[in-house]
Amino acid sequence: DQQVKQNSPSLSVQEGRISILNCDYTNSMFDYFLWYKKYPAEGPTFLISISSIKDKNEDGRFTVFLNKSAKHLSLHIVPSQPGDSAVYFCAGSNTGNQFYFGTGTSLTVIP
């Protein structure tokens, strides 16, 4: 049973525009969330995190929003750049140790 779901397998965005990647989770006990990006033939790279005591966390062009009542988080990338083209995974945990990952969203930023 998938505890973290990324229902959009792919997303295309024009360079300079906003990319919004969505993630839903089913376990109400999750209190830590991570976003990773992955290029082909490489391991995932940590991008940004958020804990349940916050509803927003920013790091440069990347912002993660958490809506606990809806069990939903989203990653905003502004402005999007061609180098952002990758697969993005979200992950949640209720222990801070065992994280459950979504299936990923492939982002393509069109120059």
Between CA 5 and CA 80 the distance in angstroms is 23
Residue carrying structure tokens 């391991």: 43
CB of 81 to another protein, least distance (A): 21
The set of residues, in sequence order, having a beta carbon less than 8 Å from that of 42 and lying 6+ positions away, is: none
Nearer to another protein, 13 or 36 (CB): 36
Q: Nearest approach, Cβ of 45 to another protein (angstroms)? A: 7
- Other C-beta atoms lying within 10 Å of the C-beta of residue 99: 18
State which residue, 60 or 111, has the beta carbon closest to another protein. Answer: 60
Instruction: State which residue, 15 or 68, has the beta carbon closest to another protein.
Output: 68
* Shortest separation between residue 14's beta carbon and another protein, angstroms: 28
Instruction: Give 69 or 98: the residue with its C-beta nearer to another protein.
Output: 98
Quote the least distance from Cβ 74 to another protein, whole Å.
17
Q: Rounded to 5 degrees, what angle do the CA atoms 12, 23, 94 make?
A: 150
The answer to whether 107 touches 84, Cβ cutoff 8 Å, is yes
Residues that bind another protein (CB under 8 A): 2, 4, 32, 34, 36, 41-46, 49, 89, 91, 93, 96-104
Q: Identity (one letter) of the amino acid at 17?
A: R
